[in-house]
């Protein structure tokens, strides 16, 4: 029965990912012989002129300052791959045409301007404002994220008590093209096993949303080229049917991954794909490398984000190209940390960039020690070196195994002067490697000895690669004892605890002699444990050593506190917390550590429990107390859970029947989830 259920679930997943949104290309023209079928919400302002153009003016009408709109009919642009608007216009007597004469779009038109949500489109070509013959042609490529099944465009005219300009518009057209449907892969997909989660990773070779910024081959990279490249990338992604997409060499702007996710969502129902926010918004400058980044897209119905998206490096370029994000699989409630990287390219045959790649590798390890909120770690990326070169050796010496070469010693992902080389990698630490069912190259782009762009399928000079993962599934009713220790002295970091600064100058840091430490007048700083499923436990406790220097004893219980949440939402600020009482505080004057033991009420914990130390000292405090915490122990017992007791005391075998968990003992006795013997 279990096999049948899994087969049905797999088929449902495949079918869901292959349902493509219906799309009909739009080619609509307006304002050539009358206002209709466009409509206005103010017929006093917008009228059709006998010289064959729409005219908006409040001049000499004695009207109070207001605004008036001219709307297109509602257009269904769901599934569109490209959308463009073109019109001609001229104007005079405006104090500021850019503010008074504007174009807007909505994808949820609800019958009026006020009841809909609008996004402004940039008109880059205004008339001089001094000559009625100075007609200008406006052409706008509309982001597909702005359109949908209820798309309406609006010419928005505004006048004030001091400015009543006149706007004339004609030959208004809207055009769209449709995204491609499901296509078969032109090359075999890599064999990566039956992992529940799949990751698609690739260097996209300068995928620029703002294609005017693209320096290389600029003459050949326009809106049409961008649309073609987007379609090719999405085609490849949908062939793999992945759940997480780790990408590099994309423009360092927030729109680029949003645009790609929107294009993917046009192909499926439910809009499951979401771009991970990273805060990167680099202005275009002469330092070319600053303008690319690495980033992630994920299926929100398969995984969720844990914590923020963080850089592994601090240098201006590498903070964009080395990114770390922790994910949680919704089905299993298990987590892993994913790092996507783009190391320094080789500068010449002598490879003067090796020292930079060595720094990239060391920065990556350092960044993971700070930001990995789960100890299962997977490293991906274009590392610009092959196995055996120094940067890879640094990572393998740190305990990471290269998994592509493990399955195929001759694997390649890139061609350099016609020779194949593997410079895109999948590396996992020991605990993560055990959960990976396979990793391999998807040869969708490269063909050694042949230019990468000679095929309709090739959009990059690097191949994609695919990783499949099976995280251990927690069964219904399963309880797990917890006995974890954090912040041990003699270590190197606070990992896997998370730190979050709400305010102030400083935050939590780690010192090998003292554990975690915080000192921040006017600051609110949180130190958060990993999360636990404590829904089945009967006993929960915390124990830690702490000391406080230069503190007023009366302020400790408000400035240095302990909290718990049963539903952690990736950050302290977004979660709901309950305070726990710390029974033992130090004196605050002699740096003597004391041990605090806290019993946690079981009604305060649940499936997604986290504990946090909160340091909060007001800006007007007379001192800046330093709080040090070490040797934190988190323990939970399933003692009263009958099924767990049966399993723990006798050699039992777990089975799943009709979706329910049972234990069968060596003598044939069978128990259900609440410990009742049924056979």
Is the bond preceding residue 483 a cis peptide, omega within 30 degrees?
Answer: no
Percent of the chain with pLDDT over 70: 85
Q: Is the residue at 10 inside a domain?
A: no
CB 438 within 8 A of CB 461: no
Identify the pLDDT of residue 60.
82
Nearest to 266 by CA among 125, 352, 350, 143: 143
Tell the burial category of 38 from Cβ atoms under 10 Å away from its Cβ (0-12, 13-18, 19+): buried
Tally the domains of the chain. 4
Q: At what angle do helices 354-371 and 390-397 cross, to 10 degrees?
A: 30
DSSP codes of every residue in 500-512: EEEESS---EEET
Let me know whether 140 and 154 are in one domain: yes
**Residue pLDDT, tens place only, 272-309:** 999 999 888 876 654 445 689 999 999 999 999 887 78
Q: What radius of gyration, in Å, describes the C-alpha atoms of the chain?
A: 30
Phi, psi of 539 (to 5 degrees): -140, 135
In degrees, to the nearest 5, what angle opens at C-alpha 674 toward C-alphas 670 and 677? Answer: 30
Question: CA 537, CA 189: separation in Å to the nearest integer?
Answer: 44
CB 629 within 8 A of CB 516: yes
**Which DSSP helix (H) or strand (E) runs through 564?**
strand 560-565
Q: Count CB-CB contacts under 10 A for residue 555.
A: 17
Let me know whether 440 and 389 are in one domain: yes
Nearest to 21 by CA among 176, 109, 148: 148
CB 594 within 8 A of CB 547: yes
Let me know whether 380 and 428 are in one domain: yes
**Domain harbouring 378, CATH code:** 3.60.10.10
Let me know whether 422 and 303 are in one domain: yes
Structure tokens at 398: 């740190």
Tell the burial category of 370 from Cβ atoms under 10 Å away from its Cβ (0-12, 13-18, 19+): middle
Q: Count CB-CB contacts under 10 A for residue 156.
A: 20
Let me know whether 240 and 366 are in one domain: yes
With H, G, I as helix, E, B as strand and everything else as coil, classify residue 151: strand
Let me know whether 649 and 571 are in one domain: no
Let me know whether 527 and 567 are in one domain: yes
CB 154 within 8 A of CB 70: yes
Let me know whether 39 and 114 are in one domain: yes
Structural domain containing residue 573: 483-636
**Residue pLDDT, tens place only, 392-410:** 999 999 999 999 999 899 9
**Which DSSP helix (H) or strand (E) runs through 661?**
strand 660-664
Q: Count CB-CB contacts under 10 A for residue 453.
A: 15
Can you tell me the mean pLDDT for 626-653? 70
pLDDT of 391 higher than 90? yes
| Largest CA-CA distance found in the chain, in angstroms, rounded | 99
Q: Is the residue at 187 inside a domain?
A: no
Q: What is the bridge-based pairing of β-strands 464-469 and 197-207?
A: antiparallel
Let me know whether 625 and 503 are in one domain: yes
CB 502 within 8 A of CB 573: yes
Q: Is the residue at 152 inside a domain?
A: yes
**Residue pLDDT, tens place only, 82-111:** 899 999 999 999 999 999 999 999 999 999
Let me know whether 209 and 299 are in one domain: yes
Structure tokens at 234: 């999405």
Q: Is the residue at 160 inside a domain?
A: yes
**Residue pLDDT, tens place only, 505-560:** 888 998 888 899 999 888 999 999 988 888 888 899 999 999 988 777 778 889 99
Q: Is the residue at 19 inside a domain?
A: no
Q: Is the residue at 4 inside a domain?
A: no
Let me know whether 305 and 346 are in one domain: yes
Question: CA 72, CA 172: separation in Å to the nearest integer?
Answer: 9
């Amino acid at each position: 029965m279990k096999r049948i259920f899994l087969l049905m679930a797999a088929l449902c997943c495949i079918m869901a990912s292959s349902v493509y949104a219906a799309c009909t290309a739009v080619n609509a023209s307006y304002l050539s012989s009358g206002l209709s079928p466009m409509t206005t919400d103010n017929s006093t302002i917008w009228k059709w002129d006998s010289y064959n153009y729409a005219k908006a003016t409040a001049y000499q009408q004695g009207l109070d300052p207001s605004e008036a709109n001219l709307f297109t009919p509602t257009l269904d642009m769901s599934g569109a791959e490209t959308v463009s608007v073109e019109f001609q216009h001229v104007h005079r007597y405006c104090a500021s045409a850019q503010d008074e004469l504007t174009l807007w779009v909505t994808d949820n038109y609800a019958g009026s301007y006020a009841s809909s949500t609008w996004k402004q489109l940039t008109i880059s070509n205004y008339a001089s404002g001094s000559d009625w013959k100075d007609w200008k042609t406006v052409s706008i490529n509309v982001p597909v994220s702005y359109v949908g099944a209820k798309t309406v465009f609006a010419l928005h005219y505004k006048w004030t008590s001091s400015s009543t300009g006149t706007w004339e518009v004609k030959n208004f057209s809207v055009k769209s093209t449709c995204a491609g449907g499901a296509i078969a892969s032109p090359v075999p997909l890599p064999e990566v096993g039956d992992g529940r989660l799949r990751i698609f990773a690739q260097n996209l070779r300068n995928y620029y949303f703002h294609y005017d910024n693209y320096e290389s081959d600029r003459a050949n990279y326009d809106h049409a080229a961008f649309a073609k490249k987007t379609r090719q990338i999405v085609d490849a992604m949908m062939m793999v049917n992945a759940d997480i997409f780790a990408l590099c060499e994309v423009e360092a702007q927030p729109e680029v991954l949003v645009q790609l996710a929107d294009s993917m969502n046009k192909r499926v129902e439910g809009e499951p794909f979401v771009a991970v926010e990273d805060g990167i918004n680099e202005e275009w400058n002469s330092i070319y490398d600053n303008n690319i980044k690495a980033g992630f897209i994920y299926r929100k119905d398969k995984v969720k984000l844990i914590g923020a998206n963080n850089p592994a490096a601090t240098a201006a370029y590498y903070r964009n190209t080395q990114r770390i994000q922790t994910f949680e699989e919704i089905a299993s409630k298990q987590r892993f940390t994913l790092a996507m990287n783009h190391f320094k390219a080789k500068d010449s045959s002598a490879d003067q960039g090796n020292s930079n790649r060595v720094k990239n590798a060391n920065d990556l390890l350092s960044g993971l020690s700070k930001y990995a909120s789960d100890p299962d770690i997977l490293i991906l990326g274009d590392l610009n070196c092959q196995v055996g070169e120094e940067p890879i050796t640094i990572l393998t010496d740190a305990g990471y195994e290269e998994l592509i070469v493990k399955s195929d010693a001759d694997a390649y992902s890139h061609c350099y002067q016609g020779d194949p080389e593997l410079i895109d990698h999948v590396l996992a630490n020991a605990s993560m490697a055990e959960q990976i069912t396979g990793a391999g190259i998807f040869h969708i782009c490269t063909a050694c000895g042949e230019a990468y762009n000679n095929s309709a399928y090739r959009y990059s000079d690097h191949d994609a690669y695919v990783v499949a993962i099976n995280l251990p599934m927690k069964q219904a009713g399963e309880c797990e004892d917890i006995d974890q220790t954090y912040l041990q002295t003699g270590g190197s970091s606070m990992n896997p605890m998370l730190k979050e600064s709400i305010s102030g100058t400083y935050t939590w840091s780690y010192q090998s002699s003292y554990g975690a430490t915080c000192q921040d007048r006017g600051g609110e700083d949180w130190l958060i444990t990993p999360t636990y499923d404590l829904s089945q436990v009967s006993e929960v406790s915390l124990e830690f050593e702490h000391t406080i220097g230069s503190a007023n004893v009366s302020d400790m219980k408000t400035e240095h506190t302990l909290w718990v949440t049963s539903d952690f939402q990736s950050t302290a600020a977004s979660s709901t917390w309950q305070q726990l009482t710390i029974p033992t505080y130090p004196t605050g004057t002699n740096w003597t550590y004391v041990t605090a033991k806290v019993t946690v009420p079981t009604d305060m914990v649940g499936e997604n429990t986290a504990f946090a130390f909160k340091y909060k000292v007001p800006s007007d405090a007379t001192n800046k107390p330093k709080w040090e915490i070490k040797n934190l122990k988190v323990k939970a017992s399933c003692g009263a859970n009958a099924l767990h007791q049966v399993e723990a005391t006798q050699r039992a075998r777990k089975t799943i029947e009709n979706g329910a968990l049972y234990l069968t003992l060596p003598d044939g006795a069978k128990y259900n989830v609440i410990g009742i013997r049924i056979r």
